[in-house]
Every structure is written in structure tokens, then in C-alpha cells.
Structure 1
Amino acid sequence: MRVYDFKEHARWEHFEGKGWQIKDTLPELAIEVWTYFSGWGSRKNEDPPKFVTHVSGSIKGIYLSPTWEEAKDMHQRILEKFARGIAE
């Protein structure tokens, strides 16, 4: 069901069992990477809600994925990219 009400979304976000979250902290780079289901679809068209991977801290980025499997893969690829940068 599509709902564009921020209060309704906030209630949904705090429901137990919503889950679908991965979070990694890389203190040596001062960044955090976390992936979750946003619950928001596009307000401009009928695109469905997406899974979001955020990179925050000294490096910033937001990546969208249509499925949880693709989002987990994106999360892992980002971590591997940063790990290669630390090793070099």
C-alpha cells in the first residue's frame, strides 16, 4: 500500500521485526556503511520502495537497490572497495 504520510512512515519504521538492516563501522576510515529497506517509493512516479545503502562520515554516498539480495551485494562491494584502499 502506498502511503505518503511521514508520520505513518515513522510509525512503520519503529515496528518490531521491520529488520532488514546491515551496519558496519570502519573506524580507520571514519566511516559507517549501513543498508536497510527505506519503505519510501518515489513521489514522482510509481517506482516501488527501495533498499538503501548509506556511506557516512569522511566519505559520503547513497546507493539504491531494488531487492534485498542486490542491496546486500552492494553493501559487501562497498566494504571490499574500502578494504582494498586501506591495504594499498
Structure 2
Amino acid sequence: MANEIAKAADAIVAAYDGRILPVDEAVARRWGQMLGHSDKNIDDTGLAATALVNGLVIVTRNVADFQERGVTIMDPFKKATKDSRNIAR
């Protein structure tokens, strides 16, 4: 079982080569700061911290879980308007 999990993890890393962002010191610090100010989901907070540190947009249908975290959010299932381009902050 452990060997199968390791193979699956290796396959994921290979498939996303160069596109996996690390949880480095900057992300860890930002994540900790954000958790200190919120009792929201720890995983979503980690994703938001990673996006903020790397200047990225969170693309999700689950916009509510990322609001009020200071990250730019895009809902790909909503029709974009000329003014909003479907991006919220």
C-alpha cells in the first residue's frame, strides 16, 4: 500500500512538474499570520497564503471560503462582465 501511494505521489509530481508551489518560509509565515486572525478552514487559508505570497489568483467556484482573506478570487462558472472580468478581491 505504501509503495502504491509513493508511486501515485511521484506520478502527480511528474504530471505537474514545474507547477507545484512549495510551502516555503514566506508562505508559512503568511499562513500563520492569517490563521492568527481567523478561525476559518486551515487548508483554504494555506491556499490563500500561497496565492498572496506568489501574486496569484484563486480560481474556484467556492468563492465564499476565500472572501475576506485579501486574495484575488475568480469564479470560472460565473459569466464575466466587461467591468468585473469575474474577479473579486
Greater fraction of residues in helix = 2
TM-score range, shorter chain: under 0.3
Question: Which has the larger Rg?
Answer: 2
Greater fraction of residues in strand = 1
Q: Structure 2-normalised TM-score?
A: 0.26
Q: Structure 1-normalised TM-score?
A: 0.27
